[in-house]
């Protein structure tokens, strides 16, 4: 028999991690997020089922790394919330016990903060932060991030990566697509900054590089890091990667 994808079910090693096959369960929002933004038991069961089904890696999503400037109702991993580290650790263990590699997606929604809030009216009172000043399609104003805030967000990626590894996650996905903050910095449509984070492509990619460098420093060599990005924004003045 000639198989169309002969390597699909073969193990593969990336860095220091060996995956049992080439089929990864992509990040999907969990079935339950507690009011404290922790992983609820239904979400743990949801991700565990992906591992039992044979996926080589299962990615928990979506973890907001800097709630102070993001505030969406999604997962938060920090030492300030009682039970946060425990819930993430239990979920990683549930994935790992079935032979899959636990992964977690790091995210910041930037000027679209509030997308996941249970109280949709609350976003009206929130400050929407993005790379540049502007107005969202729904009329809400966007406040440009200061360099100090950018530095705080980069450090949050570092701190959260440290915790994620401590909780037992063996891979991290950095969300850099679909209009979220990293994508906003990459995009000439959203990014009109005149400092070292705006203008030419090298400047617009600086924030992404700083985030990835921070995550790498936190987890060390050989730890797989995925970077999720949009191939094209499909609108005028949007980003189209040069490859």
More confident residue, 81 or 151: 151
The predicted structure's pLDDT at residue 126: 83
Q: What is the pTM of this model?
A: 0.93
Q: What is the pLDDT of residue 232?
A: 76
> What is the rounded CA–CA span in Å between residue 14 and residue 32?
31
**For the chain, what are the domain ranges?**
18-228
Question: What distance in Å separates the CA atoms of residue 169 and residue 188, rounded to the nearest whole number?
Answer: 34
If phi > 0 it is left, if psi is from -120 to 50 it is alpha, else beta; for residue 56 that is alpha
**CATH architecture entry for 18-228:** Alpha-Beta Barrel (3.20)
Give residues with Cβ within 8 angstroms of 93, minimum separation 6.
168
The 3-state DSSP class for residue 19 equals strand
Question: DSSP letter at 174?
Answer: E
**Cβ–Cβ < 8 Å for 150, 135:** no
Predicted pLDDT at 111: 93
Question: Nearest 5°: CA angle at 117, between 113 and 121?
Answer: 90
Structural tokens at position 28: 């999907």
Q: How many Cα atoms sit within 13 Å of 205 on the Cβ side?
A: 11
Percent of the chain past pLDDT 70, that is, above it, reads 95
Q: Which helix (H) or strand (E) holds 238?
A: none
pLDDT of residue 243: 44
CA distances to 111, 123, 134, 150 from 192, in Å = 14, 24, 10, 15
Residues of the chain above pLDDT 90, percent: 75
Q: Is the pLDDT of residue 86 over 70?
A: yes
Hey, what are 132's tokens?
């540049």
Among all chains, which residue has been given the structure tokens 């080439």?
22
Q: What is the pLDDT of residues 10-35, one digit of tens each?
A: 999 999 999 999 999 999 887 788 88
| pLDDT digits 0-9 by tens, 171-213 | 999 999 999 999 999 999 999 999 999 999 999 999 999 999 9
Nearest alpha-carbon partner for 91 in 63, 65, 60, 61: 60
Q: How far apart are CA 16 and CA 32, in angstroms?
A: 32
């Amino acid at each position: 028999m000639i198989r169309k994808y002969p390597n699909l079910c073969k193990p593969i090693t990336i860095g220091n991690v060996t995956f049992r096959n080439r089929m990864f369960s992509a990040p999907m929002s969990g079935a339950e997020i507690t009011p404290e933004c922790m992983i609820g038991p239904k979400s743990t069961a949801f991700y565990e089922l992906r591992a039992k089904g044979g996926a080589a890696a299962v990615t928990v999503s979506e973890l907001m790394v800097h709630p102070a400037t993001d505030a969406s109702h999604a997962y938060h991993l920090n030492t300030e919330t009682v039970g946060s580290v425990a819930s993430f650790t239990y979920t990683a263990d549930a994935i790992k016990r079935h032979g899959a590699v636990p992964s977690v997606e790091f995210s910041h929604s930037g000027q679209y903060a509030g997308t996941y809030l249970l109280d949709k009216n609350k976003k009206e009172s929130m400050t929407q932060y993005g790379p540049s000043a502007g107005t969202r399609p729904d009329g809400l104003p966007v406040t440009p991030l200061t360099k100090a805030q950018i530095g705080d967000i980069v450090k949050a990626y570092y701190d959260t990566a440290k915790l994620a590894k401590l909780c037992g996650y063996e891979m991290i996905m950095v969300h850099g697509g679909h209009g979220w903050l990293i994508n906003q910095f990459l995009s000439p449509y959203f990014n009109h900054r005149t400092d070292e984070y705006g203008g030419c492509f090298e400047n617009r990619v600086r924030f992404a590089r700083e985030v990835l460098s921070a995550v790498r420093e936190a987890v060390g060599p050989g730890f797989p890091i995925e970077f999720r990005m949009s191939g094209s924004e499909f609108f005028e003045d949007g980003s189209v990667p040069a490859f």
